[in-house]
Structure 1
């Protein structure tokens, strides 16, 4: 079967689907080629633990999703649901720091750790509210963010912009110590920062913690009613309604290139699909450049830079079907959609240091999700569909026994904070790093973010120095996955940036042709 369309999108993850939708909106014919039997990448749901218990298989809570101008402009019609509390950080001594969309509830929680920290939290939030709109736009739009950057500068003025530049490079420990006096508020930021692979001591970690915590205060960490799959389903339905097509079970083995231009793709089954205008790839940068393109078409220096590309940490994720509500020792955790557990601030630093030194942590820090608490459709009344994940060092191989031992460590941490939890478990599913990659080939070695969040691999340094935009060294080929700026998270920005770059390139070429024709006509060459 011969297929020729305006654009081919490699990968039906949410970024690929966003890109395909934007191109279809522009009137392009689009085919998405997906390696697996189903769309969504890391935005999917399924019944994997016990009958009647719905699990969000990979990603779940979506502060960046609800705040994203990209997803908002697509008008997906999602019904967002919120847990009573946004998140809670449980300390080893049993205390809890809780963020709630009601600022007074958050303030009361932070005040328990140090007098005045409630007002300090309010002050930090008011500062955030003053710039959140243009800041989120600047983060999620193509680099450099000229319009959003100008709007942000207009809000901050020059002295404020200088202070903001300093904040961007602070560690989360340093930022917390400057904003607050007690450990609770700092831990709220630090736990959020550890949703990435950054330690409490690492430059740039502060801004991640601040961003996620303040988004939680402003818009919450919601879930779509009916699960993460609703995001994917909405994107697929929107695309097909505009004439887009998705081909499943068709791994791409090569981008077809002629005279330095991307001309289409070849699948592992030997089918060639031709693209008249562009090829967009929602795959990790090393896979695109080294496997699908090949060194022949790349600058030598870029090939060398790719050898230094750093993945974020590996991940182990457990999903549970629980025959009741989680028996938290501290009831403050009962209403939280997400619970951070297993460490105080120094414990987070030790945990991160162990990962950095290729050591498996004895007491892992866990991100724990209570999905039914956020959306009752996830399990029967009075029960809980829960998950937890933690990070491991990034390695090529993990033995099954090593993963089993670490799962036991993870469940011991939960049991410590919720005695009797294990006796309520009716079903369980474990995704090892290799299991995550089998389900979604873009989660290489269990890496969730498409590459480290460290400052040396961000902005114009992502995925390698000089490639801060979706454009690649191959004409008409664009990087649309989370290895591109602005990185991981379910917000659609890499896909949208790639689609805009493809459309802009096409307009430039069309304009050049038009000017050439007019010039020739004026010279009397035509007619």
Structure 2
């Protein structure tokens, strides 16, 4: 059986749904094929601990989403999405009870950092003032295809030569070095480093400082908002917006992108169903899945396949959700109102263990107090809590060390107990998602990698996912990569999906589409010859 549409979108993650909405807005007939039984990918919610306790299955807080031009342009609030915030944004809790707190109130953030070192409050204000001057053009520059011509020109004009060069350096410097340059006390330094560890980058890795600074500034400006009623509400708003202008089918696993004459012609599903795509195939799947599984190698440049052998995944992830009968009894009251909590004062050792393939003895924890952020997540007076940490990737794909996972579960809970005595007495139920479970729920989270590939500098911009153009275009005409494996990478901002949709539309722009395709083709041949 065969049917025909303008565009097929492979995968109903948030990037795939963003792309589908944008193509439908342009009047295209769009079909989204999702291999699992649910939509949303890593943006989903469910009751997995106890009845009445709602947990986000993967992503939870959305600082990038709040300021993302692609998501803002879709006006999801008009389709039922509502945002809410915890009283405070992030708290980094030290074992001695001190806490560095990032608040949406600038004065409160400054006061918190000032307690660690005189002058650090003023230093934070200075850094944030620079962000405020540049953010209107900076964020679009980071999220649009490389090079970001329009926003980049505006940013350079606004910043001036000297500040533009210093800003470029900020995105290359390691988090440890940037923290030491910006702050004198441990509060500001570890707050920045902890935010950098939201990626898979170590504190001494190039570009980790840029990621930490970016999340810090977004947190100060926008907070770390969450959807009222769970992450699923973000997905549901994208689905409602698409409405009848596009169709979404679950349980429709694609096993082949059909290519002929150098063009993507459509897809084949595992049940044998064929779907012809008149204009585009948009793939919201990891780059290795697309190039190594969905396309016959005879249709791809040999050099691309060779380059893909160097593709690096991000670290594996272990996530634990708890249903608690009351608020977490933190050793510092300053932490009670933070939606996101960081634990861990030796990030260099943690990162070194991961790099060496060892399970960290003192894991860095990223914790979400979801009821604190959104009262709808659990009954009044209780807390829906999660924590995640990273593990080394398995030596062989799919072969997760179960004993390592069990050991790390115990270490995670021990770390929480040390910082919140009496925690165990509040636990009503627990749910563990190790790397294998995360991949089972969402095949795109390969071995628990949640960012579609490492955020390391060597796999960003024109090197994401491999050496190329830093764009959604692929060596196959009318095939576009829309997942977090593409520039600009991980995070719930929808930019990868938006970039793919724009590229598909540009390919079919009247009078200019063939010239666009010819130019992309020449560039691809030069890169992969």
Match in the other structure for 2:28: 28
Q: List aligned pairs for 1:100-499, cutoff 5 A.
A: 100-241=103-244, 243-341=245-343, 343-344=344-345, 347-395=346-394, 396=397, 397-499=399-501
- 1:510 offset after TM fit, Å? 6.7
| Residues 1:512 and 1:300: Cα distance change in structure 2 (over 3 Å) | closer
Over residues 358-391 of structure 1, what are the superposed CA-to-partner deviations in whole Å (9 max), with x where a residue is unaligned? 0011111100000000000000000000000000
Query: Bigger shift: 447-456 or 458-467?
Result: 458-467
Query: Bigger shift: 421-430 or 21-30?
Result: 421-430
CA contact (8 A) 2:6 2:30 kept: yes
Match in the other structure for 1:52: 52
Aligned counterparts of 1:392 and 1:58: Cα–Cα separation in 2: 16
Match in the other structure for 1:522: none
Aligned counterparts of 2:341 and 2:454: Cα–Cα separation in 1: 23
CA contact (8 A) 2:400 2:447 kept: no
For this pair of structures, how many residues does the alignment match?
509
Gaps of 5+ in 1: 514-527
- 1:422 offset after TM fit, Å? 1.3
Query: Bigger shift: 289-298 or 477-486?
Result: 289-298
- 1:22 offset after TM fit, Å? 0.2
Match in the other structure for 1:84: 87
- 1:298 offset after TM fit, Å? 1.2
Q: TM-score, normalised by structure 1?
A: 0.95
Looking at CA atoms only, which structure, 1 or 2, has the larger radius of gyration? 1
Match in the other structure for 2:505: 503
- 1:297 offset after TM fit, Å? 1.2
After TM superposition, the runs of 4+ consecutive aligned structure 1 residues lying more than 3 A away are 508-513
Match in the other structure for 2:527: none
Over residues 209-229 of structure 1, what are the superposed CA-to-partner deviations in whole Å (9 max), with x where a residue is unaligned? 000011000110000111100
Q: TM-score, normalised by structure 2?
A: 0.95
Match in the other structure for 1:61: 61
Aligned counterparts of 1:221 and 1:133: Cα–Cα separation in 2: 18
SS of corresponding position for 1:232: helix
Aligned counterparts of 1:119 and 1:511: Cα–Cα separation in 2: 52
Give yes or no for the alignment of 1:41 onto 2:41. Answer: yes
- 1:405 offset after TM fit, Å? 1.8
Aligned counterparts of 1:203 and 1:282: Cα–Cα separation in 2: 28
Aligned counterparts of 1:324 and 1:351: Cα–Cα separation in 2: 30
Aligned counterparts of 1:201 and 1:221: Cα–Cα separation in 2: 25
CA contact (8 A) 2:6 2:279 kept: yes
Aligned counterparts of 1:512 and 1:351: Cα–Cα separation in 2: 51
Query: Bigger shift: 501-510 or 185-194?
Result: 501-510
- 1:50 offset after TM fit, Å? 0.2
Match in the other structure for 1:98: 101
Aligned counterparts of 2:181 and 2:414: Cα–Cα separation in 1: 34
Aligned counterparts of 2:155 and 2:404: Cα–Cα separation in 1: 48
Aligned counterparts of 2:336 and 2:7: Cα–Cα separation in 1: 48
- 1:92 offset after TM fit, Å? 2.6
Aligned counterparts of 1:163 and 1:87: Cα–Cα separation in 2: 26
Over residues 107-164 of structure 1, what are the superposed CA-to-partner deviations in whole Å (9 max), with x where a residue is unaligned? 1100011001011111111111111111101011111110010111011111111111
Aligned counterparts of 2:322 and 2:209: Cα–Cα separation in 1: 32
Gaps of 5+ in 2: 516-529
Aligned counterparts of 1:512 and 1:460: Cα–Cα separation in 2: 23
CA contact (8 A) 2:508 2:514 kept: no
Aligned counterparts of 2:335 and 2:69: Cα–Cα separation in 1: 31
SS of corresponding position for 1:202: coil
CA contact (8 A) 2:326 2:381 kept: yes
- 1:402 offset after TM fit, Å? 2.6
SS of corresponding position for 2:304: helix
Over residues 165-222 of structure 1, what are the superposed CA-to-partner deviations in whole Å (9 max), with x where a residue is unaligned? 2112100111111111111111111100000011111111000000001100011000
- 1:20 offset after TM fit, Å? 0.3
CA RMSD of aligned residues (A): 1.1
